Structure 1
């Protein structure tokens, strides 16, 4: 389809997109974003937009963003380093590939693996719903990184729930047939 590029300019990410020539010549091509026109070369956004809408749809909303920010805080603590401020690209590419919304997949190299394809982060089975609900409640109510169970609760939810949009706690789960489902949990 094309290449999304991200550069840092004055500590702000600037995204551009360039259609693949095969996509532009394809009879099956379709408009993928209102800010992208059918012509070759890099296309940039207006300054008031942070990324193209189609890619924002593949990024987490409030719940997933919250999980990723907390994961970064724990990783920084474990690594004895300062907490990084996560950028839009971190949220876009930090979603487990199999759970990513928007029917898009990302690679750094056309022949390389998809990002993020860590096989240690698949959706849990549907039988884990109660444990996932409990973890989501604890994470929503408590941001005490010193709690010894905090990292465990976060790891239970970050991969299966990090990509899902909206503000309510949720998680992806897999049924006995291998079908991916979204489980939404009570909030507040």
Structure 2
């Protein structure tokens, strides 16, 4: 049997101005997939050049990427950050299967059966792709764009339509029209939960996160509550609010990698900055090392990272993995910690974070251990005490914020989330202070 060989290349550009950066090539030989990237000569000689990914040195020639495990991306880390999440992959795969079936019924040319990792990468809408990297095909089209030239990113007025289409996908009852509507729109980042890229009332790009049919509590209100509490605790956060659509609470989270008039800011996840394998465990102290090495204001970002560590423990945000921390590019290869996002209280989980404290201690599960490690984050004892007090005072007022108009929790919601905020770690902080 003849082995299947496939090669596909796209141009890589940066930002709204689409500055030429290089070319990305996907290779498949049988079951083996890999990729290569080469910088464009104009990028290598530009005064504003920087490594777009920590594993892509500023040198001429093709740089090969083969993943270290089956769980890791075949693309260099910066490109892997822009791949669709679990929900996005689900939408892309369903849409592809529906297109194949439709083509067979109409006697048209049928798309190939299996989707490659390149297909998923190129299935993300160009307007909503995270960060500033953009992919362009030989015809000069940004990947991906809406085929019929229609509007790719819907306004808030279409939330009800979006919710209906995503619920149909969740229940395995989606129609061709549902998938056509979600195509590109439903492929933004953020895990397995249903979501869609939308435009806020002022035209700013945002992510609309919808309740799941499997939810037993108001997860969308919980996320907005956590983000608002984080802001009160002195943490820089993505702006968010609850928007109602036909009595359905949607968490609207504004994108922090966009500026006025469509400008785009380069972004790297903490996992990419660490060049981390998805199979390994990772620690807050490792992210701290990246801040010291790469950030324009390490003192500020180290305090902020420790503040987030403490906050996550006190609200039982146990989904604090390295993809849920990130960095924004400032200039000349220097970065800053991106605003906090995907912060969720888990009232049904034990207070043990996904990220380790350091490589010896293991997962963060004790406020005392976090305080003992504050020196690694360049915090003196009195500074750590001040930060801890600010976070504690914000979290203990969670019910007031939960009842605010921007969150809108009911008494039943308060009962459901109470274990996440009123716990042994909060009691331990009260004793320490």
TM-score > 0.5 by shorter chain: yes
What is the distance in 2 between the residues matched to 1:34 and 1:169?
31
The C-alpha deviation readout for 1:58-107, integer Å capped at 9, x for no partner, is 11010000000000110011011486211111011122222222321111
What is the distance in 2 between the residues matched to 1:34 and 1:46?
15
Q: Is the 8 A contact 2:165 2:178 kept in 1?
A: yes
The runs of at least 4 aligned residues of structure 1 exceeding 6 Å deviation read none
2:92 pairs with 1:68: yes
CA 1:88/1:121 → structure 2, altered by over 3 Å: closer, same or farther? farther
1:130 is matched with which residue?
160
SS at match of 2:26: strand
SS at match of 1:29: coil
SS at match of 2:27: strand
1:28 is matched with which residue?
48
1:99 is matched with which residue?
128
The Cα RMSD (Å) is 2.0
1:183 is matched with which residue?
208
What is the distance in 2 between the residues matched to 1:47 and 1:125?
38
Pairwise CA distance, 1:17: 0.5
1:115 is matched with which residue?
143
Structure 1 segment 160-175 matched on structure 2, within 5 A = 160-175=185-200
SS at match of 1:133: helix
What is the distance in 2 between the residues matched to 1:135 and 1:165?
18
What is the distance in 1 between the residues matched to 2:142 and 2:84?
17
What is the distance in 2 between the residues matched to 1:116 and 1:47?
24
Pairwise CA distance, 1:47: 4.6
CA 1:121/1:14 → structure 2, altered by over 3 Å: closer, same or farther? farther
Q: Is the 8 A contact 1:97 1:117 kept in 2?
A: yes
SS at match of 1:159: coil
User: Unaligned stretches of 5+ in structure 1?
Assistant: none
Pairwise CA distance, 1:4: 0.7
What is the distance in 2 between the residues matched to 1:55 and 1:47?
13
Higher-Rg member (1/2)? 2
Pairwise CA distance, 1:159: 2.0
1:4 is matched with which residue?
24
Aligned length: 182
CA 1:40/1:164 → structure 2, altered by over 3 Å: closer, same or farther? same
The C-alpha deviation readout for 1:34-72, integer Å capped at 9, x for no partner, is 221121100102452511111111110100000000001
What is the distance in 2 between the residues matched to 1:179 and 1:122?
14
What is the distance in 2 between the residues matched to 1:159 and 1:98?
9
